């Protein structure tokens, strides 16, 4: 069983989790800037990139022993759920939490904005018969931000299914309320996956959290607005 962690840079430790259907290579365009100020730990989440598919418990056990005593933690999209859950489990080790185009719960409810359950159900059905179509549809949802990297060609179908189940079932809204560490969430106004309504709902529920909206960004503000994103990270972790 393998958990791939790519370490690079010099400075304060910053652990980054990628989103669904991607791997740690999604951060590559940011490395020239981020590695000047931070020691990056770029993690391939279970089943993606070079990491084996594994349970949450195995993931935590494999990761925590390879990290320094204190570190900042950031996650994009599904990786934001992983980051929030990990920060809640290891609050004494995590100094800062950064959520990027993410939510503590991705599904729509009467009092919570999010993805319609039928969308996830449709993705799960298509994964059985036309996985490439699912990835195309997912890219289309994200492409409003103008910048869209290529999806990895070697995605594991089982990991894709597990990731969709995570998006549909992990609810860490209460866990976010429990966290007592500096926390910042970034959103793109054009995001179709975590729309601005999520920011508004979170701002009402979590008054102690910092929120930033990129007015012309979609679901990948760290790529479409890389300079502004890096400046925000540097300021947040200063």
Q: Annotated binding site: which residue ranges? A: 20, 77-78, 138-142, 219
- Of the candidates 18, 219, 225, 232, the residue annotated as catalytic is 219
Q: Is 24 a catalytic residue?
A: no
Bind-site residues for substrate: 20, 77-78, 138-142, 219
Among the listed residues 24, 44, 103, 191, the single catalytic one is 191
How many residues are given for the chain? 238
> Is 77 designated active site?
yes
Which helix (H) or strand (E) element contains residue 81?
Answer: helix 78-89
Query: From the candidates 77, 103, 184, 224, which is the catalytic residue?
Result: 77
**191, 197 contact by CB (below 8 A):** no
Strand stretches in 36-106, DSSP E: 38-43, 71-76, 94-100
**Catalytic (active site) residue 235:** no
What would the 3-class secondary structure string for 146-212 be? CCCCCCCCCCCHHHHHHHHHHHHHCCCHHHHHHCCCCEEEEEECCCCCCCHHHHHHHHHHCCCCEEE
Using CB atoms within 10 Å of the CB of residue 106, give its burial: 0 to 12 exposed, 13 to 18 middle, 19+ buried.
Answer: buried
Catalytic residue numbers?
Answer: 77, 191, 219
């Amino acid at each position: 069983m393998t958990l791939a962690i790519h370490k690079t840079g010099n400075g304060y430790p910053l652990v980054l989790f990628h989103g669904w259907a991607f791997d740690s290579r999604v951060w590559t365009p940011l490395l020239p800037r981020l590695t000047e100020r931070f020691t990056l730990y770029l993690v391939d989440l279970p089943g993606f990139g070079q990491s084996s598919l594994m349970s949450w418990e195995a993931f935590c056990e494999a990761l925590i022993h390879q990290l320094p005593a204190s570190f900042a933690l950031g996650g994009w999209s599904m990786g934001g759920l992983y980051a929030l859950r990990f920060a809640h489990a290891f609050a004494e080790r995590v100094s800062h939490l950064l959520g990027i185009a993410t939510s503590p719960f991705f599904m729509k409810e009467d009092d919570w904005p999010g993805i319609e359950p039928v969308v996830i159900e449709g993705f799960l059905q298509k994964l059985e018969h036309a996985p490439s179509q699912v990835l195309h549809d997912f890219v289309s949802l994200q492409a409003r931000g103008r910048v869209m990297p290529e999806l990895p060609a070697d995605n594991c179908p089982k990991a894709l299914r597990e990731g969709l189940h995570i998006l549909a079932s992990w609810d860490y809204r209460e866990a976010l309320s429990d966290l007592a560490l500096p926390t910042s969430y970034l959103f793109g106004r054009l995001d179709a996956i975590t729309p601005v309504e999520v920011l508004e709902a979170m701002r009402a529920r979590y008054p102690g959290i910092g929120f930033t909206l990129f007015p012309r960004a979609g679901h990948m503000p760290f790529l479409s607005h890389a300079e502004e994103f890096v400046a925000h990270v540097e300021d947040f972790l200063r």
